[in-house]
Amino acid sequence: QVQLVESGGGLVQPGGSLRLSCAASGRTFANKNVGWFRHAPGKEREFVAGISWSGVTTYYADSVKGRFTVSRDIAKNTAYLQMRSLKPEDTGIYYCASSRATPRTVSTQPTSYDTWGQGTQVTVSS
């Protein structure tokens, strides 16, 4: 069973950058899509970005498009979320997740993912 651990969160000023990592252990997630979600205070969990098993296709929420970049390194069994030009509204707990299967498209729905990390806090504040 694959296990996921996020890291890289922290406190940054608006306009700053952070890179989140999602390390897999137990089993590889090379054949699974990876999604990033966030849960902000007072809001429901929302999709942020996703990447296919091949790493060729990516998908981003409109709110982060052009600022965030999702990637993965098969050799390191790790996925990443590079966040730039951070805004206060980006604040939240960020989770990575691996898909239940290998769909043809990157899903934005939490139910399409069956393995989740513990989350890492991202706070954007001056």
106 and 61 in contact (C-beta within 8 Å)? Answer: no
Residue 121's pLDDT is: 98
pLDDT at 101 over 80: no
Cβ-proximal residues to 51 (8 Å cutoff; 6+ apart), any chain: 33, 34, 57, 58, 59, 70, 71, 72, 79, 106
pLDDT at 27 over 80: no
96 and 72 in contact (C-beta within 8 Å)? Answer: no
Residue 14's pLDDT is: 98
**Each residue's pLDDT tens digit, 71-96:** 999 889 999 999 999 999 999 999 99
Cα dihedral angle (118, 6, 86, 74), rounded to 10 degrees?
-140
For a pLDDT cut of 90, what percent of the chain falls above it? 79
Q: How far apart are CA 57 and CA 4, in angstroms?
A: 21
Side-chain half-sphere exposure of 61, counting CA atoms within 13 A: 16
What does the DSSP 8-state code read for residue 97?
A: E
**Each residue's pLDDT tens digit, 36-59:** 999 998 899 999 999 998 888 999
The residue behind tokens 């290998």 is 102
Going by their DSSP bridges, the two strands 10-12 and 18-25 should be labelled as: unpaired
